Amino acid sequence: MSAAKWLRSPLVLIAVTVWIGLNLAAIQLAGGYLPFDRPAMAAQPFAAQMALPTLGLIEIFLLMAVVWILTRKRKPVDMAARAPDRGRAGLETLAVLAYAALGQVGGWVLGPALGYRPFSFHLAGTLVGCSVPASPGELMTWMTYNFLVFAVVPYLWFRRRYSAEQLNLTSQNRWGDVLVILVVTLIETAVELGAFPGILEMTPSQLAVAAPLAFVTFFLGTVLPTMVLIYAILIPRYLKLTGSVTGTVILGGLTYAVMHLVEGWSLFGSPRDTALSLIFVFLTYTGPGMFKTFVTLRTGNAWVHALGYHAIAPHVVVDAPMIAKVFGIR
């Protein structure tokens, strides 16, 4: 599909309309001020905070163009063939989404029951900081819960019936995949450092301890859960059910956003705060989820997005300083 034809497709036009609508609703509700607990962004003017998700989406489309160029000569991956027939694909999709919803609710209940904040796909303070950093106990509990519920259980259940290739966990072009990982990591690292340069202020001794800890923490707590639940299992089924790459990319982005409904910065004390929090979850995470889906469709390998656009940038590049605070690394 040409770029012009893609831009005129009904799904894209609907998505653009919804995106504009969400931004306008947020501006109206916010009244010039966003109440979220996001210390890393608190000094930015309201207009800049509102513009950031759209600027991020533009960068994501540019990254998609880069990935398309890097993979344009590769044999297309028939990912729909990795899913079962449409009837079973539909049932499995509904079952996984219901399980994911229950897993989310479980995290919202378990966290406060243990004296922590509700658990989501991100630890409180991830990417944007928070006024009260997580304790080591909160971090370890969050990481263990997400890893078991959203990665281990779904993987073991589906691996009984489907091969690693059918779950998008193998490579058809190792060096091509490595190239995509390296290029995307370098670009995204440069972008993240421009926006969140805190890692550059760390001492070498801090970095030597905090960076590996950040990698392991987020690899187990959010990277593997994201990869297994959405990009190994759901994406082939979305493509089988929709028959549309565009529809699959949008659904992948929306699913990724839904898995972050309760973030550490979210507020639910009033209808206004609740609406703003939910709007910003979708504005913040739909784009990255779309990019992860696009990369997986282009390469047929869910590990590519996990390593190139998740594990290192942003969760080491941005979150190593937070990990240093959590563990008191000096």
What tens digit of pLDDT does each residue of 281-300 get?
999 999 999 999 999 999 99
Distance CA 117, CA 142 (A): 10
Distance CA 72, CA 220 (A): 32
Distance CA 176, CA 299 (A): 9
pLDDT on residue 189: 96
Contact 310, 285 (CB under 8 A): no
Q: Which amino acid is at 52?
A: L
How long a stretch of residues is the chain? 330
Question: Which of 150, 143, 144, 195 is closest to 323 using CA atoms?
Answer: 143
pLDDT on residue 6: 64
Question: Which of 257, 269, 273, 196 is closest to 34 using CA atoms?
Answer: 273
25: its two tokens = 């609703």
Distance CA 200, CA 207 (A): 9
Close Cβ partners of 148 (under 8 Å, ≥ 6 residues apart): none
Question: Which three-class secondary structure state does DSSP give residue 35?
Answer: coil
Q: Mark 34-54 as b/e (b = at least 16 C-beta within 10 Å).
A: bebbbebbeeeeeeebbebbe
7 pLDDT tier (thresholds 50, 70, 90): low
Residue 151 confidence (pLDDT) above 90: yes
Distance CA 111, CA 221 (A): 14
Average pLDDT over residues 213-217: 97
pLDDT on residue 9: 78
| 19-49: pLDDT as tens digits | 999 999 999 999 999 999 999 998 899 999 9
pLDDT > 70: percent of the chain: 98
Peptide bond connecting 118 to the previous residue in cis, omega within 30 degrees of 0 = no
Question: Which of 234, 266, 215, 219 is closest to 108 using CA atoms?
Answer: 266
State the average pLDDT for the chain: 95
Domain borders along the chain are: 3-327
Residue 1 confidence (pLDDT) above 60: no
290: its two tokens = 């779309």
pLDDT on residue 3: 56
> Which helix or strand (DSSP H or E) is residue 211 part of?
helix 204-218
> Which helix or strand (DSSP H or E) is residue 19 part of?
helix 10-30
